[in-house]
Amino acid sequence: MAEELAKRIDDLHKRFDDLRADIGARFAAVDKRIDDLRADIAARFAAVDKRFDDLDKRFGDVDKRFGDLNLRLTDMHGTLRAFIWVVSGWFTFLTAVLAVFGFLRR
């Protein structure tokens, strides 16, 4: 009986050792899977960061273009304002001349 008991205990120890090895292998597989997922997530975030950097560069270019357009519109506004002053003065002058000559004809 003692021999049978020792055999059963040895069998139990072997089964526990096999169970520990199986659990260890499963945890190692899970750890590897988690490491692979972390690496994949890091790669995806790096790709997203690169896309945002590219977008930032594009928005910088667009901002520069709007700045250039703003300068052009400011120059055009100044030119148009000067033109309006000249035309306004010219019409005022012509109105005054016509008024004077109109009164002189009467």
CA dihedral 65, 71, 73, 78 (to 10 degrees): -170
Question: Model confidence at 76, in pLDDT bands (50, 70, 90)?
Answer: very high
Question: How many other CB atoms are there within 10 angstroms of residue 6's CB atom?
Answer: 10
**Is 106's pLDDT higher than 70?**
no
* pTM of the predicted protein model: 0.51
DSSP characters over 1-38: -HHHHHHHHHHHHHHHHHHHHHHHHHHHHHHHHHHHHH
Residue written as token pair 């109109």: 102
Q: What is the per-residue pLDDT for 65? A: 95
Residue ranges making up the domain that contains 78: 1-106
Q: Classify the phi-psi angles of 99: left when phi > 0, otherwise alpha if psi is within -120 to 50, otherwise beta.
A: alpha
How do residues 4-56 score in pLDDT, each as one tens digit?
888 988 899 999 999 999 999 999 999 999 999 999 999 999 999 999 999 99
* pLDDT attached to residue 84: 93
How many separate domains does the chain show? 1
Q: pLDDT tens digits, residue range 54-67?
A: 999 999 999 999 99
